[in-house]
Amino acid sequence: MQQYGRKKIRRHIAQDHSQVCFKPCGIQGKYLEKIMLDADEMEAIRLSDYEGLYQQECADKMGISRTTFSRILQQAHKKVSDALLHGKAIVMI
């Protein structure tokens, strides 16, 4: 079997947020559309937004390039804003 593209670099994730879910109040989860937030996206939010680190520092801690970190963070912000604006559940995987 032939692989295409580059091999995904192993990222350093400090905390496990799997099995965590946030949803709008008053609506059962089974009726909500779900947004899946990957572990590296959650780690990017934690380091950048919660810890307040510069992107290069965040990238160094995750063991990836700054441009890759920036892309991951942008994807995470888009997913979170979609969930908040459209009443979707956020599930960390």
Domain 21-92 in CATH 1.10.10.10: yes
d(C-alpha 29, C-alpha 13), whole Å: 27
pLDDT in tens, 34-86: 999 999 999 999 999 999 999 999 999 999 999 999 999 999 999 999 999 99
Q: What is the pLDDT of residue 16?
A: 66
- Residue labelled with tokens 């992107």: 55
Inform me whether the pLDDT recorded for 28 exceeds 70. yes
Residue 6's alpha-carbon distances to 3, 28, 49, 67, in angstroms, are 8, 40, 28, 15
Q: What is the pLDDT of residue 30?
A: 87
pTM greater than the 0.85 cutoff: no
Taking the domains of the chain in order of start, what are their residue ranges?
Answer: 21-92
Mean pLDDT, range 5-28, rounded to an integer: 73
